[in-house]
């Protein structure tokens, strides 16, 4: 376990809190693992249109990114919280 996996796990929890379901659903463990490895979660705004332009929606997407450097967050984990600060 690394800070990166902790950030991803927290992103899954945030997603479920905001959307009402997990980002990946499967009937069997192997299906769920395959989805986690190969699929991208639906954007939060697809289920909650009122969050389309929110920083929170973007933060959750970055936290769920499989390659943290692509999602704009550091692999070390602390930077996602900066996405919530007002500018």
Alpha-carbon distances, residue 29 vs 10, 15, 58, 61 (angstroms): 20, 20, 28, 23
Domain spanning 3-82: which CATH class is it, in words? mainly alpha
List, for residues 29-40, the tens digit of each pLDDT value. 999 999 988 999
Average pLDDT of the chain to the nearest whole number: 82
Q: For the chain, which residues make up each domain, given as ranges? A: 3-82
**55-64 and 3-19 are packed helices; what angle lies between their axes, rounded to 10 degrees?**
130
For 53-80, what is each residue's pLDDT tens digit? 889 999 999 999 887 665 555 555 545 5
3-state helix, strand, coil in the chain (%, to 5): 55, 0, 45
């Amino acid at each position: 376990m690394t800070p990166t996996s902790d950030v991803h796990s927290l992103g899954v929890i945030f997603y479920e809190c905001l959307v009402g379901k997990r980002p990946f659903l499967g009937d069997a463990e192997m299906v769920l693992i395959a989805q986690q490895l190969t699929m991208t979660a639906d954007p939060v705004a697809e289920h909650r249109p009122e969050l389309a332009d929110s920083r929170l929606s973007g933060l959750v997407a970055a936290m769920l990114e499989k390659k943290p450097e692509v999602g704009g967050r550091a692999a070390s984990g602390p930077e996602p919280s900066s996405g919530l600060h007002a500018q």
